[in-house]
Amino acid sequence: MNDRITSVRLSSVRLPLDVPISDAKVLTGRQRPMTEVAMLFAEIATAQGHEGLGFGYSKRAGGPGQFAHAVEIAPDLLGEDPSDIPRLWEKLVWSGASVGRSGLSIQAIAAMDIALWDLKARRAGLPLAKLLGAHRDSVRCYNTSGGFLHAPIEQVLENASAALERGIGGIKIKVGQPDTRADLARVEAVRAHLGDAVPLMVDANQQWDRPTARRMGRAMEEYGLTWIEEPLDAYDHEGHAALVSCLDTPVATGEMLTSVAEHAALIRAGAADILQPDAPRIGGITPFLRLTALAEHHRLQLAPHFAMEIHLHLAAAYDQEPWVEHFEWLEPLFDERIEIVAGRMAVPSRPGLGLTLSEQAVKWTVDQAVIA
């Protein structure tokens, strides 16, 4: 054993959002507007003085539960060799196996797993993408945060223009409103504003039934969309597969799934043209790499969900040209910023994820535990 883990610092941080956020789940009465994001940070240190930083998150509910589960299982990392990441991931999974191998229990592991990968890359003096084996030094990016349904269409158009001026390459807007005519009018307005050359995506956030999804998918064919995202319930693999078969527009889904096994079922069903896994939701980088190996085998496109600070590195290591989703929400938590030029995010040259926690993140901390 060359090194050993001596401490794990876990922090629960409440990140406030500037305005309450609404997508179709709010307009259909299934959720309340989102006002904050619960972050779980893990800082891992070793006997030889190496450190790694990782994080996970939860929207609306689940943050305290993730923190509590992480605190309960983190002692199992003490004394272990930080290089043995897949073995340690399995050890943490089995520490909490009685509450399952998906959902909150797996998401609580993500921050620690990501911290271990960050530590390994920092120790090697490499950006994480380079440690994993990068196919590219930058990745196509699109903006989502400017296209939510709480914003009137005039604001959405202004947000889209601002994103393009910043160098972002594509625009995604939310749809899935109770009035489908309002959705079509929204898409038509954005396409007219952007012109035909700018990639445009739409996201229904699981709010259509099968007949509505078919009808809306066909109606939107004329707008040349890059993809239609989550047209159906996330676990309706059969329905998504039928849409893949009948629409020219690619179908994207996967962000709500919380394990590799759930994604594998999605892939077996032929239910996605574009896979959208979320590393913090499926347990970290270790399961994400297992999933992308499967996705590569099936020649699927990749567009990871949220957490661009992590997914930029993972997308850069994917064999086919991927997309990364731009959200500026997490930026106040870190001292560094990602460079965006000519429609692409540049992989940072700094070792690991290239992130350090800001003073603001410390101020937003609501709970903390040090396991040593």
With a cut of 70, say whether residue 307 has pLDDT above it. Answer: yes
Reported as a single tens digit per residue, the pLDDT across 171-214 is 999 999 999 999 999 999 999 999 999 999 999 999 999 999 99
Residues in the chain: 372
With a cut of 70, say whether residue 280 has pLDDT above it. Answer: yes
Interatomic CA distance for residues 8 and 114, integer angstroms: 13
pLDDT classification of 24: cutoffs 50, 70, 90: confident
SS3 of the chain: CCCCEEEEEEEEEEEEEEEEECCHHHHCCCCCCEEEEEEEEEEEEECCCCEEEEEEEEECCCHHHHHHHHHHHHHHHCCCCCCCHHHHHHHHHHHCHHHCCCCHHHHHHHHHHHHHHHHHHHHHCCEHHHHHCCCCCEEEEEECCCCCCCCCHHHHHHHHHHHHHHCCCEEEEECCCCCHHHHHHHHHHHHHHHCCCCCEEEECCCCCCHHHHHHHHHHCHHHCCCEEECCCCCCCHHHHHHHHHHCCCCEEECCCCCCHHHHHHHHHCCCCCEECCCHHHHCCHHHHHHHHHHHHHCCCEECCCCCHHHHHHHHHCCCCCCEEEECCCCHHHECCCCCEECCEEECCCCCECCCCECHHHHHCEEEEEEEC
Interatomic CA distance for residues 43 and 285, integer angstroms: 16
The pLDDT of residue 221:
97
- Written as one string, the DSSP assignment of 171-192 is EEEE---SSHHHHHHHHHHHHH
The pLDDT of residue 167:
96
Which of 25, 69, 130, 174 does the annotation list as catalytic?
174
Known catalytic residue at 193 = no
What one-character DSSP code corresponds to residue 348? P
Integer-rounded Cα radius of gyration of the chain? 20
Q: Which of 145-149, 171-175, 248-252, 335-339 has the lowest mean pLDDT?
A: 145-149
Reported as a single tens digit per residue, the pLDDT across 26-69 is 888 888 998 999 999 999 999 999 999 999 999 988 899 999 99
The pLDDT of residue 69:
95
Which of 69, 305, 311, 326 does the annotation list as catalytic?
305
pLDDT classification of 292: cutoffs 50, 70, 90: very high
SS3 of 134-157: CCCCEEEEEECCCCCCCCCHHHHH
For the residues 263-270, what does the mean pLDDT come to?
97
Q: Which residue has the tokens 């060799």?
A: 81
Known catalytic residue at 174 = yes
The pLDDT of residue 179:
94
The pLDDT of residue 1:
60
With a cut of 80, say whether residue 145 has pLDDT above it. Answer: yes
The pLDDT of residue 352:
98
The pLDDT of residue 100:
81
